[in-house]
């Protein structure tokens, strides 16, 4: 008797980004290199690896957000990609945003309406489902997005780090819901840095390293191998340094003109400056920044895909420019991960949550949310 066809089939998937300079391709940067995997109905696959190993690129390729350079991926049935926290339409209600999100995923309106009571109950929004989402906290928007994604009869679910956001009770609620979806035959891929969660939730796992599959198999076996590898690298920094092309130097907060900034207030434009040293020439630099409000991921941003080609060794810096008014009165943790690519070798410079910033807002009234972007308003008379 033949085995049933997998819901998700990935064969030799590759993705290469082109680094351009003055309109000319100066280097190709591989993000995925021949990744293969299969996920059957009712299975959950965990994907683990360091930042920059290709995890998010894999999900983006499966969700057709980016086109793979080579290889093949087939996903059967209704595919729901939950790859981040969509801002939504701030002036629209939670219900209207739920319908919009479902429409973007190709889900009929009738399914959302049929499942609406369950969606609202799971998200814990109650009557607030009728209020504009501009008044929602980041956690409320997350609960709504996850509730919609897991109640619209998905055949395939793609989740990128969403389980790391929210309080412990909600995280457990999410895990229980994924178990329920497993029972309905949904095939799921989960990207996560939370190894205990991957062991508890997933049937099997893939460990990505520099775009390659470093290991695959039972979730417990793969995650323990990955953890042992990470621990060995930390315990033997001299050996790890042999493969490094640079080192982090400092992470600090500056004003828009580069001066040190100690006590920012809401409205201050600021920069998160990461200084690092590069030992080699012919190096390409990219960066990822993560900003947390407490334990909640406020936002994650990436430098341009075409990166910054560097031809001279020495001290360099990248600065995340945060516009005035975006941050609210919160205690923030800020992290910048710099990736150096030299030919086929990759060095990741990560100082962890090295920068903690307290933002004051003397004019704050009521709930502010983790971020509050400045928006414009328009009012016009349209006739009788």
CATH (residue range 8-233): 3.40.50.300
Q: Where in the chain are the domains?
A: 8-233, 243-358
pLDDT at 87 (0 to 100) = 47
pTM higher than the cut 0.75: no
**Would you tell me how many other CB atoms lie within 10 Å of the CB of residue 12?**
14
pLDDT category of residue 1 using cuts at 50, 70 and 90: very low
- Which CATH topology does 243-358 take? Coagulation Factor XIII; Chain A, domain 1 (2.70.50)
pLDDT at 80 (0 to 100) = 95
Q: How far apart are CA 100 and CA 98, in angstroms?
A: 5
What's the pLDDT tens digit per position in 146-200?
A: 999 999 999 999 998 766 555 667 778 888 999 999 999 999 999 988 888 899 8
pLDDT at 364 (0 to 100) = 67
Answer for the pair 42, 185: CB distance below 8 angstroms, yes or no. Answer: yes
Q: How far apart are CA 147 and CA 101, in angstroms?
A: 11
């Amino acid at each position: 008797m033949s085995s049933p066809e997998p819901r998700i089939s990935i064969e030799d998937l590759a993705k290469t980004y082109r680094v351009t300079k003055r309109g000319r391709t100066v280097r190709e940067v591989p993000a995925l290199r021949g990744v293969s995997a299969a996920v059957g109905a009712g299975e959950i696959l965990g994907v683990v690896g360091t930042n920059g190993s290709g995890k998010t690129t894999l999900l983006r390729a499966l969700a057709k957000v980016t086109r793979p350079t080579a290889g093949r991926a087939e996903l059967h049935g209704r595919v729901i990609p939950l790859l981040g926290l969509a801002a939504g339409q701030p002036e629209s209600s939670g219900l209207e945003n739920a319908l919009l999100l479902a429409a973007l995923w190709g889900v009929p309106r009738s399914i959302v309406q049929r499942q609406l009571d369950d969606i609202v109950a799971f998200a814990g929004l109650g009557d607030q489902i009728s209020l504009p989402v501009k008044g929602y906290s980041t956690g409320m928007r997350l609960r709504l997005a996850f509730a919609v994604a897991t109640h619209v009869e998905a055949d395939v679910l793609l989740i990128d780090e969403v389980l790391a956001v929210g309080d412990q009770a909600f995280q457990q609620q999410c895990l229980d819901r994924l178990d329920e979806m497993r029972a309905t035959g949904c095939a799921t891929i989960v990207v996560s840095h939370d190894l205990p969660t991957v062991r508890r939730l997933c049937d099997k796992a893939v460990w990505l390293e520099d775009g390659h599959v470093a290991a695959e198999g039972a979730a417990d076996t793969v995650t323990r191998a990955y953890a042992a590898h990470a621990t060995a690298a930390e315990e033997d920094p001299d050996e790890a340094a042999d493969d490094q092309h640079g080192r982090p130097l400092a992470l600090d907060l500056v004003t828009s003109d580069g001066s040190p900034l100690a006590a920012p207030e809401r409205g201050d434009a600021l920069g998160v400056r990461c200084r690092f040293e590069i030992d080699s020439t012919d190096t390409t630099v990219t960066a990822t920044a993560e900003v947390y409000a407490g334990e909640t991921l406020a936002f994650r941003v990436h430098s341009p895909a075409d990166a910054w080609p560097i031809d001279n060794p020495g001290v360099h810096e990248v600065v995340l420019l945060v516009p005035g008014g975006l941050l609210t009165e919160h205690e923030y943790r800020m992290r910048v991960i710099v990736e150096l690519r030299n030919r086929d070798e990759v060095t990741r410079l990560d100082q962890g949550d090295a920068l903690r910033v307290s933002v004051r807002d003397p004019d704050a009234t009521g709930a502010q949310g983790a971020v509050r972007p400045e928006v414009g308003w328009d009012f016009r008379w349209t006739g009788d």
